[in-house]
Amino acid sequence: MNLEEITFEILENHSLCDYCLGRQFSNLATGTTNLKRGQTIKSFLAMKFTSLDSKNNVAALQVLSQSGSDLARKFLEKKAILPKETSECYICENLLLKIESLTEVIQKEIKDLEVRTFLIGTILPKEYLEREKELKEKYQVHQSEYLKQEFNRNIGKKLTEKTHLNTDFQTPEIVIETHPISLNVHLKISSLFIYGKYNKYVRTIPQTRWPCRKCKGKGCKECDHTGKRYDVSVEELIEHEALRVTKGEKGVLHGAGREDIDARMLGSGRPFVLEIINPKARSIDLAELEKCTNLHVREQIEVRNYRFSTKNEVIYLKRSAEESIKKYRALIEFDSPITNKDLEKIESQFCEIIIKQRTPKRVSHRRADKVRSKKVYSVQSKIENKREVESIIVCDGGCYVKELISGDEGRTSPSIADVVGTKAHCKELDVLEIEEKTYSKEK
């Protein structure tokens, strides 16, 4: 069968709108749209049947009129024949005619959002897709596009025409889910990612939000109805100004590792990516944000090196934290007096050595119990007073330094306490430096 015969047979059995008819032949002629293909095929057939000598031709024009051909209808009217009413499209039930209205709904919904790129997704009940499949099999037509794609592409095109927004298939700033039947749209705003480094100068705040263990954040007597175990965290201090300028809903701090609450983070700082959930503004001045953040957080923490980041960098940051080398300063208190000879022993023992650490008791309630191998590169110490020593420790990321000092009742071996033969505990801990590997987008 040729194009004319197939088309006519389809239209005799099923009325199709221009979009849906055109889509059945989307392999024919490039550089046009399914809408135009459908219109062209219908017009061509209408012209062909306009020599009204036979009854067959009137019937054929009525079929075309029923599927919405203006040309066929006008011709019948001119010959004083009442054209048949246009029937609903068999595949899309005329939903494709709602593209204009759907685009208007989208425009209204996004008018207060600052976005540059989008991606459209369309939700349709499966009956629609089944009817389309049925036609494809019955008439052996070449549909290279499906109904959902027709919606996505046409709405996307309209939206680009009416706004300054562009489609982005990889990392759209907003995903717009359209529901043609109810004429509703659902927006999913992509997070905004900001890279930076932070210092922490106090020994009282955790890196991220710490909900009250009793009420799990709901608020109870124990936490004075705050829902929090600690008043504030690095995460909350950093997000405060960022949420103000992006009008975001919430911030999530993804750190390259974390220090203990009572450990300071000094040196050039710990890399992090702040994820802003549901931001309404994106083109913000990061230098200004950095300045405002440092004013807001006062002496507690400090941020620097702000730049825009991506979700992929978060994954990279988490992975690289384990592999990077860290330098600590620890103030160690021993149970008995320490001599310079002890310090020499520590230094020679902990030189390029692999230690075994079983998950420490203090974190075993939230971390899997396993034995990790970590490298200690060097421990250099000086006596502060009889039982107190300051040590500079260089070791692998993820090494538990407090346990390297105390031995954690044999869970970490060897330990500084083992080597000296007396109990030892970490009185103060500071992270002095985190060796950073440069992130490249190609990875």
**Which three-class secondary structure state does DSSP give residue 92?**
coil
Q: From CA 51, how far away is CA 22, in angstroms rounded?
A: 25
CB of 5 to Zn ion, least distance (A): 21
Among the listed ranges 10-18, 59-67, 221-229, 241-249, the one in contact with Zn ion (CB under 5 A) is: 10-18
Strand partners, 392: 329, 380
- Contact at 8 Å (CB) between 374 and 354? yes
- Residue number with CB closer to Zn ion (122 or 309): 122
Closest CA to 194 of 305, 296, 301: 305
- Residues 286 to 305: which contact Zn ion by CB under 5 A? none
Options 168, 260, 262, 418, the catalytic residue: 260
Question: What is the C-alpha to C-alpha distance for residues 247 and 277, in angstroms, rounded to an integer?
Answer: 10
Count CB-CB contacts under 10 A for residue 427. Answer: 15
The C-alpha atoms of residue 351 and residue 349 are separated, in whole angstroms, by 6
Rank residues 132 and 342 by Cβ distance to Zn ion and give the closer one.
132
Q: Contact with Zn ion (CB under 5 A): which of 7, 14, 15, 20?
A: 20
User: Minimum Å distance from CB 49 to Zn ion?
Assistant: 22
350 close to 376: Cβ distance less than 8 angstroms: yes
Nearest Cα residue to 333 out of 402, 260, 432: 402
Among 92, 243, 289, 314, binds Zn ion (CB under 5 A): 92
Task: Determine contact, residues 90/15, Cβ cutoff 8 Å.
Answer: yes
Report if residue 11 touches Zn ion, rule: CB under 5 A. no
Instruction: Please report how close the Cβ of residue 11 comes to Zn ion at its closest, in angstroms.
Output: 12
**Gap between the Cα atoms of 141 and 20, Å rounded:** 12
**Total of chain residues touching Zn ion, rule CB under 5 A:** 6
- Give the interface segment with Zn ion, choosing from 32-40, 55-63, 96-104, 250-258 (CB under 5 A): 96-104
For residue 238 the two structure tokens come to: 């950093």
Report the C-alpha gap between 295 and 289 in whole angstroms: 10
Q: 98-127 mask for Zn ion (x: CB under 5 A)?
A: ------------------------------
| Torsion angle of the four alpha carbons 113, 118, 119, 124, in this order, in degrees rounded to the nearest 10 | 30
Measured between alpha carbons, how far is 420 from 129 in angstroms, rounded to an integer? Answer: 75
Q: At its nearest, how many Å lie between Zn ion and the CB of residue 84?
A: 18
Asked whether position 89 contacts Zn ion by CB under 5 A, the answer is yes
Choices 14-22, 53-61, 291-299, 315-323 (CB under 5 A): range interacting with Zn ion: 14-22
Interface stretch with Zn ion, choices 18-26, 31-39, 294-302, 415-423 (CB under 5 A): 18-26
Place of tokens 């009250």: 212
- Residue 237 CB, shortest distance to Zn ion, in Å, is 55
Using the rule CB under 5 A, is 17 a contact of Zn ion? Answer: yes
Closest C-alpha among 273, 294, 292, 296 to residue 284: 292
**Closer to Zn ion at the Cβ: 8 or 128?**
128
Q: Compute the least distance from the CB of residue 47 to Zn ion, in Å.
A: 23
- In the bound state with Zn ion, the residue whose beta carbon lies nearer, of 135 and 404, is 135
* 271 DSSP assignment: E
Cβ closer to Zn ion: 76 or 92? 92
Q: What distance in Å separates the CA atoms of residue 128 and residue 327, rounded to the nearest whole number?
A: 62
Confirm whether 285 is a catalytic residue.
no
Q: How far is the CB of 23 from Zn ion (least distance, A)?
A: 8
DSSP state of 127: H
- Measured from the CB atom, the residue of 91 and 265 that comes closer to Zn ion is 91
Q: Which of 15-23, 192-200, 360-368, 371-379 is the region at the interface with Zn ion (rule: CB under 5 A)?
A: 15-23
Length of the chain: 443
Q: Which residues bind Zn ion (CB under 5 A)?
A: 17, 20, 89, 91-92, 96
* Residues designated catalytic: 260
